[in-house]
Amino acid sequence: MYRGRTTLSKFLIEQLHEVTDDGQLAGLLIDVAAAVKTIAAMTAKGGLGGYLGAIDNTNVQGEVQKKLDVLANDAVIGSCEWGGMLAGMLSEELEDPYAIPAEYKRGRYLLNFDPLDGSSNIDVNVSVGTIFSVLVHDKETAPDTADFLQIGRRQIAAGYAIYGPATMLVLTVGKGTHGFTLDREVGNFILTHPDLMIPADTSEFAINTSNERFWEPPITRYVDECKAGKTGVRGRDFNMRWIASMVADVHRILMRGGVFMYPRDTKDPSKPGRLRLLYEANPIGFIIEQAGGAASFGRGPILDHPAQSPHQRVPVILGSKNEVERIERYHAEYDAGTDKPYASPLFQERSLYRSEA
């Protein structure tokens, strides 16, 4: 029964055989997978492991850290710092990039990561994840902060783990997007979802509508049209989902299509979006593009968005290609002053609430 299964190691040897780096990238991804198994074990213990709840600290984002944010961060660093593959790491949970300790060999890659995505869901036993992005550091010297600020197009690998009913690892090395499921008894990731492709059309969207009053008009227009369903310009009904773990929302979109939006909003004018470019938007954008979807900040591809600071936030709109292109068009029409915001049929001419006079 185990014969013929494609393990993560076998898959990486096959996919990366042309990369001349002495197996460093494959080795790094195996180390990331080891960290994922550790985090999977901790999240699965839940209240039994004493892992729930917050600690008395806020991170550089100004967010209260959960115990598991810190433990997951330690798991990734501990698993990846010693192998000689990395020149440095950048984590959501650390203000500055993490320097590889002097006792270890320095390698040619950089790892940007969100150790635990969706951490507001930990205490309520809803799926969370880990997101990571691999960049090349082609200098002999140790990296400084500027070396991590590369555009997403330069990523050579990216992935996420989802700690759901099953733990899965979804990754790309630029040759499609592939999903592995953790066989817990054996301890191996097995290729179960090769060549994932996102349908170009969808009738499902994901957005936190409690922020509606802060959105830009193109987003309000799109969501209003979806909500109008059959009675509006779209001519069909839409469904809505919001898990508040980006990895879980993205995973659903990879499985059956959909569009995910965390757009620019005016809630906090100092933050042009909620999600972070280097370890959330870029790796997920790479995975989505490799699965035939689109990833945009509303006014261009996420993967071409310039990176200015380690924890920079950006608007994120991604998923089924035709819907993302439509939302980009709504932004372009709004910017050009040619948009036609959705008007409820109740308030249009000859409507219930509008007199003919």
Q: Which is nearer to ligand AHG, 118 or 143 (CB)?
A: 118
Q: Interface residues for ligand AHG in 314-343 (CB under 6 A)?
A: none
Binding mask 112-141 for Mn ion (x = CB under 5 A): --x-xx------------------------
Distance CA(32)–CA(111), nearest Å, equals 10
Distance CA(247)–CA(112), nearest Å, equals 16
Would you give the end-to-end CA distance of the chain in angstroms? 76
Stretch that binds ligand AHG, among 46-54, 222-230, 243-251, 284-292 (CB under 6 A): 243-251
Q: Could you tell me the two tokens for 138?
A: 């082609």
Q: Interface residues for ligand AHG in 180-239 (CB under 6 A)?
A: 208
For residue 245, state whether it binds ligand AHG (rule: CB under 6 A): yes
Q: Which is nearer to ligand AHG, 170 or 228 (CB)?
A: 170
Q: Which residue is nearest to ligand AHG (CB)?
A: 246
For residue 119, state whether it binds ligand AHG (rule: CB under 6 A): yes
Chosen from Mn ion, ligand AHG, none, partner binding at 274 (C-beta under 5 to 8 Å by type): ligand AHG
For residue 204, state whether it binds Mn ion (rule: CB under 5 A): no
What is the smallest separation between the CB atom of 262 and ligand AHG, expressed in angstroms?
6
For residue 126, state whether it binds ligand AHG (rule: CB under 6 A): no
Q: Which is nearer to ligand AHG, 15 or 133 (CB)?
A: 133
Q: Interface residues for Mn ion in 265-324 (CB under 5 A)?
A: none
How far is residue 163 CA from its own chain's centroid?
14
Q: Which is nearer to Mn ion, 81 or 117 (CB)?
A: 117
Residues found near Mn ion in the complex (CB under 5 A): 92, 114, 116-117
